[in-house]
Structure 1
């Protein structure tokens, strides 16, 4: 194992990717450069090749690398410590979450707009029901994530286009396969939850512009909560 490669514990995907990220920074690997082959990474990290492959697939899903047999694994997004006061792992987690939110935003905004136009009476009732369940979970101090997921799934279903749910689920899976909860906080973005009530009401009332605007506001609050964990990532 090289001196610039950290020793791993359990070999979970997050630990593997944190170690690879540290190696990338230590070796000065930049966007467009190839990463070492999987077998070499596995040997240096002291984990199985399948573990490395699984971890890199998560990065591929988040657009951090591209992978193919001819070109190998190529870095497509910069990986660097944004600030000396924050660990590289936290900086990378924030960057990954921000990339996910950037892709998710147009999907969620469009789905809210379409749901306001296309939802039938049953679907409007379902969205309102899921919203009330979400508010109840928030008020009780419980983990509201399952109710939030059900609420957004109801909006996706009301669009009449199953691709919205499939694409958002894929984005969430790619992120949560590595990070069980953003920054170890299962309820990151709690400030955005109260806005889900007017969002549901805008969809119920057939107001596509209002629904799109509120969805944008919700995502703005989630992004703000993410940036607050490490400071402005553009600084």
Structure 2
């Protein structure tokens, strides 16, 4: 596939698609998931063809009315689905259908709190071990990334933000610290869906309750980071399991309250 693509570019350069125009996205939808859905629809309908280059970040930001972070998370999710491939310094291109992966978690699947709980169960199994491996294998650069992510999350919480991007980066940093390239690849299948509070936003209108929860998450992140920094793999596993179990229990309570209404 690579050879064929290279030959095509040699004749006329990559095909930069100018023919699609995305209407602005409107909150309170999950903006990343919605942008993924729309771009996926363009690809599957054939309006974006294999080898076509996606619009630039700036163009997608302008057309969809979203931030650079949303655009980058959407492209990351499309890459995890096998729908696009990225080239450093060049852009994102529609992948050949024959090369598309079959195992993925589609953002459109995350429609209920029951779905969220199932993903958290999967995360408990995977991320508990990732935390332990990170404690055993982290180097100075990996540890610096974990600590920076924990600090950024704490600052965002103190500023009253939802801290979704910072939360995602903390978990990405731990996966990277395992030294096992398959862990970050697995995380790409979840992408921004890893952080459930943006998926179930309609259920979380109580700002005080959310602030209390995020404050607790900040403490849990600190405990995980401390264990990893100390090389305590067993404690890192315990801290990560405790963190994710608390998240699962919280959303289970929210689900029960929603059913009882």
TM-score (norm 1): 0.56
State the 1:174 CA deviation. Answer: 6.3
Which residue number corresponds to residue 97 of structure 2?
none
Pairwise CA distance, 1:209? 0.5
What is the CA-CA distance between 1:232 and the residue it aligns to?
8.3
2: CA distance, partners of 1:174 / 1:150: 13
SS at match of 2:161: coil
Q: 5+ residue gaps in structure 1? A: 1-13, 15-49, 64-88
1:181 shift after superposition: 2.4
**Contact preservation (8 Å) 1:127, 1:200:** yes
1:173–1:150 CA distance, 2 compared to 1 (3 A): closer
SS at match of 1:160: coil
Distance 1:226 1:137 in 2: 22
1:101-140 alignment runs, 5 A limit: 101-140=120-159
For 2:171 and 2:156, the matched residues in 1 are separated by: 15
Q: Flag structure 2 segments of 5+ consecutive residues without an equivalent.
A: 1-28, 30-40, 46-80, 82-102
Matching residue within 98, 103, 113 for 1:94: 113
- Could you say if the C-alpha distance between residues 175 and 212 of structure 1 is closer, same or farther in structure 2, counting changes exceeding 3 Å? closer
Residues 130 and 62 of structure 1: is their aligned pair in 2 closer, same or farther, counting only changes over 3 Å?
closer
Provide the C-alpha distance between the structure 1 equivalents of 2:173 and 2:256, rounded to a whole number of angstroms. 34
Structure-2 change in CA distance of 1:194 and 1:111 (3 Å) = same
Match of 1:142 among 154, 157, 161: 161
- Asked if the contact 1:157/1:165 (under 8 Å) is kept, the reply is yes
> 1:161 and 1:130, CA in 2 relative to 1: closer, same or farther beyond 3 A?
same
CA–CA distance in 2 between the matches of 1:109 and 1:232? 28
CA-based RMSD of the aligned residues comes to 4.0
For 1:225, the equivalent position in structure 2 comes to 250
Aligned to 1:197: 222
State the number of aligned residues. 160
Write the distance in 2 (CA, Å) between the matches of 1:175 and 1:110.
16
